[in-house]
Structure 1
Amino acid sequence: MLLEAMGSDIAGCKDAKDRTPLHAAAFSGHVDCVQLILSHDAPVDTVDQSGRSALMMAAEKGRVGALEVLLSSATLSQTDRDGNTALHLACSNAKEDCVMMILEKLSDTALINATNAALQTPLHLAARSGLKKAVQELLSRGANVQTVDENAPGLRPQAPC
């Protein structure tokens, strides 16, 4: 009711960490709330102080339903302050369902080999997290196995497998 009364004004409110109601709904996995907030023209790619969007939060926390809704309008190439995309976050947090869902929607294949600030690719993070299916899918989409992880000198994605 509050959203109905205040409209997009409340959808754009931010807390002390610059998180919006959309961030909160995505973080918690409240799909109905995500849909309702988006229906009131809430900006989907707004970021918090760490540079994370609602899509990134859903991917990081494994909120498949919220992620599915957000994937229809959010920017997949957006990065946080550490250079992580939603794909990086899903891989590093072992959220394989989210990884696979993001890969289904991914049209920019350059994101497969995108590195974060630590020079880690989604393949590095998926391998380290033990995500066999995700590793196979990343490889089938052209992930580079020769990229070296800055946090593990000499370690390549194929080593943990």
Structure 2
Amino acid sequence: MSEDWVSKKLGLHPEDGRYDSGLEESVKSLQEEAELRLPSASDEGPRGSDSAPDAGDKECEAQDLERVDSTYGSVSLTESLPPTCLPPTEAPESSTQDSDQLEGLTYLSEEGDTLLHLSIIHSIPELSLYFISVAPKDVLDIQNDLYQSALHLAVYLGQVQVVEALVEKDVNLELQDRKGDTALHLACEKEHLDCAQILLRGPRGPQNLQMQNWKGLSCLHIATLRRNKALISLLLESGADVNSQEGTSGKTPLHLAVEMLDRSLLQHLLQHRPKVDAFMYNGCTPLHLAVGRKDAGLARLLCQAGADVLQRNREGDTPQDLAEGNNQLLAFLPFDDLKISGKPVVTSA
């Protein structure tokens, strides 16, 4: 590991004007200690990544957002931390080095990124893991100007080792970014199953799986929209509600599967015994949606699962009403006097 490896990898140089006058010394101090803990690191260091999450959005929207962790933006970063986060002071000769280390750990860029954020963005896992090992939990939970914590970025980029290290340090799993997404929302959106598994077995157990982002979607809704059956099963086994309604129109995962005309996904969800006649806010059941989309295959699956063909929505229409004139659909929605609450009574000869 060369003398300026950390600074070069993060793209931080004194002439950039992106950090205060003590940062260079702080980075060097961190580097020296990292060399003792990471003897296997090469002089060239690990490869960086050229991509960063939401780079375009970050430039356009960062100026309009207000930081939620404003206490970390003060001039004296050490004053804003609780006493338990401060380095030990028993050895007077090391107090300067400890102070420099804390200053480096709590450094914030112009975009509100800590050095941990930057090491994750630039794909330097050795440095990320070192920071996580020495930093207090309060520092690990810092959110940048896009409200992204280090955990958000590590999950977004699929850095499994970093995600696992952060979860083991008991970071806050329910922090939400500017879109209202938790790290688990991002794991479902990016279909990072391994990251989702780690997040769901945190030391305090999984987060509140009913949490919705600003679009009204829970993690289960996102996994359903991604048609990812493995993620759906993982979330349901971890306690997600198969009948949960998204916040805009009240659709359940069953409604979403019908809307996407995905029979395989619908069959998978039906195996988890959802409420087949769940209502949207307008009173429509999944069968209303299937008939409205003239999909006889979906209608058949729902009827076989016991869907009520006479259930009325807010406008007073039943699935039978919506199927009028469509003989293919009416074959699954027969007019039959032997029905109770819309369900046919099956008799044996």
Return the TM-score normalized by structure 1.
Answer: 0.85
TM-aligned CA deviation for residue 82 of structure 1: 2.4
Say which of 102, 117, 129 aligns to 2:199: 102
- AA of the residue aligned to 1:149: E
TM-aligned CA deviation for residue 108 of structure 1: 4.9
* 1:7 aligns to 2:104 (yes or no): no
Aligned length: 160
Say which of 1, 24, 32 aligns to 2:126: 32
Runs (5+) with no aligned partner, structure 1: none
Say which of 152, 176, 181 aligns to 1:84: 181
Which 4+ residue blocks in structure 1 deviate beyond 6 angstroms? none
Mapping of 1:1-161 within 5 angstroms?
Answer: 2=28, 3=30, 4=32, 6-41=100-135, 43-73=139-169, 74-105=171-202, 107-109=204-206, 111-150=208-247, 153=249, 155-158=251-254, 159-160=256-257, 161=265
Runs (5+) with no aligned partner, structure 2: 4-27, 33-96, 258-264, 266-349
TM-aligned CA deviation for residue 85 of structure 1: 1.0
* Structure 1 residues 133 and 124: alpha-carbon distance in aligned structure 2, compared to 1, 3 A threshold: same
- AA of the residue aligned to 2:179: D
Q: Which has the larger radius of gyration?
A: 2
Q: 1:150 and 1:99 mapped to 2: Cα distance?
A: 22
Q: 1:129 and 1:58 mapped to 2: Cα distance?
A: 20
Query: Which deviates further from its counterpart, 51-60 or 39-48?
Result: 39-48
CA RMSD of aligned residues (A): 2.2
Higher RCO by CA contacts (8 Å cutoff, separation 6 or greater):
1
2:60 match: none
Return the TM-score normalized by structure 2.
Answer: 0.42
TM-aligned CA deviation for residue 133 of structure 1: 1.5
What is the SS of the residue equivalent to 2:232? helix
TM-aligned CA deviation for residue 106 of structure 1: 6.4
TM-aligned CA deviation for residue 28 of structure 1: 4.0
Q: 1:9 and 1:67 mapped to 2: Cα distance?
A: 24
Q: 1:104 and 1:145 mapped to 2: Cα distance?
A: 20
Query: Which deviates further from its counterpart, 48-57 or 16-25?
Result: 16-25
